[in-house]
Every structure is written in C-alpha cells, then in structure tokens.
Chain A
Amino acid sequence: MGAREVRLRIAHLFPELLNLYGDTGNVLVLRKRLEWRGIACDVREVHVGERPSFSDVDIVFIGGGSDREQRVVCEYLLEERKELVSYVGDGGVLLAVCGGYQLLGHSYLMGDEEVQGLSLVDLYTDRGSPRLIGNVVVQSRISPQPIVGYENHGGRTHLGDGVEPLGSVVHGFGNDGLSGYEGCLYRNVVGTYVHGPLLPKNPGVADWLIARALERRYGDDAVGRLLVPLDDAEELEANRVMRERLT
C-alpha cells in the first residue's frame, strides 16, 4: 500500500455570483462522494479579483448566474483565458452549468449585445423566444441512467461540427429546442443546461467527473483502485421517480 494520501482539489469559480440554481449542490455532491470513498478533498472558492492557478486543480466548477453577474464574471475570466485553455488542453476536468456553459463558447447574447466567451469549446449561443423551461431527461454515454434535471434558459446553444453533445434529449428542450441534443462533451469538459442541481440525482455523472480527475492525477489504474462503488439507493430512486413521471 502506498502511503501517499489521495487528494483531489476542486476549484469553485465565483460561488457568490454564479449560484442561481442551487449550484453549490454540485460541489457538495463531488466533495461527499470523494470523502465517502476515503479520498481527501479541498474545495477552493475563487472570487472575482483573485488570480487563480489551475495547475494543481483537478475539477473546475462554473455555475450559472443572472445576466448582470454573468457579465462581471466573463470580463474577468477573459483575462484568465490562457490558464483555462491549458488546463482543458491538459485533460483538466471542468463542469459548467447554465450560464457557465454559455461562457465556454465563442460568444453569447446578453439582450441584443453579443458578449465574447472563453472559446474553450467550439460552440456559440444566441437567443430565442420563449425561454425553454421545464424538467428534462437526457440519455448520455457518461451516465448509466438517463440524466434528469431542470432547464431554464433563453439562450439557444449551437455546437460546432465535431463537438459531441452531452446526450440526446428524451424529454424537454436541450441546447436549442430543435437539434434534439443537450450539452457538450469535449475532452474532459462537460457543459450543460441541466440543473436541479445536476449531480445529486445523476451520481453517474458525478462519478464520471471524479474518474477522469483520478486518472489524470493518479494514473489509469486509479479508477479501479479508488472509485469504490457507493450505495446510491436514494439518488437512483429520485432519478427513477422523475423519469417515470416524465417519460
């Protein structure tokens, strides 16, 4: 047995600004699922004005905020773009929800004004009417169960050629209400409109993110060694109940 302590670091970007839909729940789920497996976990909150380094970070989380808050964040993050690009290029794990998802792309619309995004993933977002609101079910290859959650977005997100969606919409609207796809999956980046929050009722997605982070930090065999199965009876029951209600 190696004496080395196993530890993952989560960077939660701008928790005080991007927290519209219970987003801290995603970070709580990641932390608990690491701790339940005996893996140490640091959560580092990154606030506006700080200059974050992502070199020792294993999972980055970006939530959604109101337009006003999202703009503050975006202007600031553009200055840190290089850091994020190399993090993603290096296989860094990143989960971005709602507004955070829109920030990943080349641009999005705020009112009628086009705002430059981070261009981490080849996608862009324009606006449509009405807002796409409601429960959503998505079939995705990264989750053994269909993903269930809630969506509420005016934006319509369009993926570039060759960008894989997170999954196919079984119920609800997804990226643009037309393509039948929801979210994006690029390297170890997951972007999605699904909140609720995303991870509690979709433990498969949480464990996929944790698995990618473990592989990157501790090698390919780390998942088999460290990602021990948990009793997810409550999570899976909550997932099943919503799926049965909706489909």
Chain B
Amino acid sequence: MNSRSHYEVVILGAGLSGLAAGVRLAHFGKKVCIFERHNAPGGLNSFYSINGRKFDVGLHAVTNYVPQGVRGTALSRVLRQLRIDRSELDLCEQRQSRITFGKSQPVTLNFNNQFAFFESEVAKHFPLEVDGLKRLVERIKATDYSPQAPVLSARAVIKEFIHDPLLEDMLLCVPLFYGSAQEGDMSYSQFAMLFQASILEGLARPFDGIRPLIKVLLDKYRAGGGERRMKCGVKRIKVNAGKVSVLILDSEEEITADVVLSSIGALETTALIDNQSNADSNLQSSPHVTEGRISFAETISVYKGEPLELGFGQDTALFFNDSDRLDYSAPKTQIDTRCGVVCIPNNFIFGADRKMPEGIVKITCLANYSLWTNLSDEKYKADKEAWYMQMQRSALKYYPSANEYQLKGSLIQSDMFTPKTVKRFTGHLNGAIYGSPTKNISGTTAISNLYLCGTDQGFLGIIGAMLSGVTMANTHILTKGGVEA
C-alpha cells in the first residue's frame, strides 16, 4: 500500500450543504474531510471584505422562518438534526416586502411573515382570485416531494387555480428569483418548496448576516472531529468498475474514500470524472442533464444613514417587473433591468437596541454570462460602472422619495458582482447561480459510491441547502441499510 490518506467520506465543497452533511457525519463518528477550492467557506452564500467592510455574497434573507415553538417545518428539522440551538442563529424577522408588477398601472402585493396579510392583499387587488389562492395553498401544503413524484410545470399548476396572468407572474416571482435554475418556469415541486419557504413561512436574517451561521456550522463540524482542507479542490475523480477509486487534489495529492458526496453541481462533478473502465458511462442515471443559464448581477451600495431616511421606505425586499409579462430568462443584453429584486438588510427587525452601522441596498437583476466573459479588463470595468448606474435607476423608479443626487452624496462604497464573478467563486457552469435545471432529488448517480447534495440535488435556499446535506448524509451514509453498523 502507499501513503494515500483515506477517509470514510469525502465532501466536495464547503458550502452550506457540504458543511451540514459534514456536521452530521462527523457527529456520528465518520472520518470525514471537506475539500474546498476557495479560501472562504459558504459557497454561494459566502462573504468577503473590502476596506475592512464586511459583505455577504448571496444572502438576501434566510427563508423558512417560523416563530419559536413552531415545529415540524424545515427550519426546526435542520436545527435539530445539526444540534443547533435556535438562539445561535439570531434570526430577525423581515419588516415587510412587496411585489410590484405591471407596465402602465403597477399593482403592489405587500407581504410579511403572516400569510393572512398576503392573502388580504390578494383579496384587495384580485378579489376574484382569492378562493383560487386558498386552494392553491392547500395544494402546496400537500405537495409530494419524494423522488418518485411526477415532474410538473409550476405555471401549469398555478393556472389550475389562478386565471389572471399578472397574479400568476406575481405568485411565481419570489420562488423564481430565490431559486429557479429554469428559464420562464420552474418545476412545480421546486415552486411549492420555495413558496412555502418564503411566503407561507417567511424571511429573516441573522443580525450579522451569513457569517454567524457559517461559524456555527464550522464549530460543530470541528467539535465532531471533521477535517477541512481549504484552497484545495478535487480536480479529478478516478472511477473503476462503477466506483470512485481515487480522488486527485489540486495539489496532485491522491486520496481515497469509501463514499464521495459532491455539492459542486451535477455536470461540474461529471467533468471531474476520469473513467477507467468505460469512457461512455455517464454520471447521471438520466442522460438529459442540461446546463443552467440563469445568472445574476448584483449591486451593493453602502450609504451613510438608514435606507429608510434616504427614501427606501420599509421594504425588506422588493420584487419588481415593469413589462407585460415576467421574462425570467438569460437576457439578450448583459443585464435585464426590467425586472429584479431590491434587498435592504437594514429593514429586518433587529430590536430597539440594535442597528446596522451603515445603510445597505442590494439590487439584483438577471444577467447574461457569455456577454460578461471574454471582455478586456478595461471594458469589463467600464461595463460594470455603466450597468451599476442603470440598475440603480431601474430600481429607484419604485422609490419616488429617494433622490439620485442625495443618494450619490450619501454613498460610501459600492460593489457589484456579475455572472463572471459567480463562475469564478462557485465554479458553476455559466455562472448559473441555481445550477442545472435538472434536479436529482434522490442524489444517486450511476457511480455507486458517489452522491450529490446541494444545488443540483434540489433543496433550495439556505435552510434547504442545509437540509439537502443532512438528508443525503442520512439516506446514503448514516442509515444506509438501516441504522445498524
């Protein structure tokens, strides 16, 4: 034998799903190591600093918020499975969010963490549709999420209950922007999961953003004895006789593992496979895994003072669209400013004694990956600046009391990510934030000891990502063939 390190489980990627899987596996005594190519953990929900100022990458809001004491939901399940005390997350509820859609006479549906309020908003603006909404919600609550459930179109199911296309788009937009890898539509079960998470349950944020959440996971993982190698990706997976035989790291070091759990994406994992026995065999049992095309650009503006005082109102999040129909697709221009999301982290309820030191406004719009790559550094920088301004203008239309010149005077710092940034930091093909439109709920692949978790397994959002890691670790490793050793 040689000196290859051997692990019972190797996890690819230190995002929320990989970390959550790691916490479970380490807690139950598995010899486990997480390999992460970047220097910061968190994956899509990571963080960075510029000039000593801390920024979150992905986080708009933690979905799946339910009040303390409500059990049997995704949040309580994740907390229990990871042995996290709820107070460790310091979840603060949103103030109020809204969906403002329409071309000539925009309609606004406000929502908060009380679904009855959203229902009353629908009743006010779409009185003929409110019974349909109630029945749609019953349908959503009874959704079958098992891997055997048929794949349905979300739009087709919504249309069974809702007749006004404007309301259809408005009901679909939060799930689309917060999780759809598919253009124009999404699978019904993904819609139901995200509608449940964001509208029926609710939005919240830890006061300090994503960092405390990642820190809790890292602490639990370390306490359980889990190992972690940062700045060290897996660059090749050798497969022999339908099983992973060796993993080759970026450092050329070779390691072995009984089981591999990959959170880096289905096609991204396939690309690593070096098949020694059969060059044609595919990672997926189903051969039709398609590349994702949905990517975003996001501007972050840091202001002196509260966004409320600058004219941004109480909005925690605003979902906007000013064209006839919602066009959720990879745009033909670098960025599509017709629709998008504004998120204001200051507008969560932190309590009377706590206030963020500066105002932050994030604006997110759909963007085209290929139009952002292969630009010269100079052109890339110039395009970012130009689109930064366009994105501000398109969002400011919804804040008539905000004044562009006053905002300019209060602006301390700004930053922007594009699809190119997403690709660089997540490795997702095409900078596709939500991965491939083809989800693999069971997580199994054609390689017997290789499983998927995270984005391409298909549980969405921050809590969903953690639930994905937990579920895949439980199903494929901890309780495989019952819980007996």
Task: Please say whether chains A and B are actual partners in one complex.
Answer: no
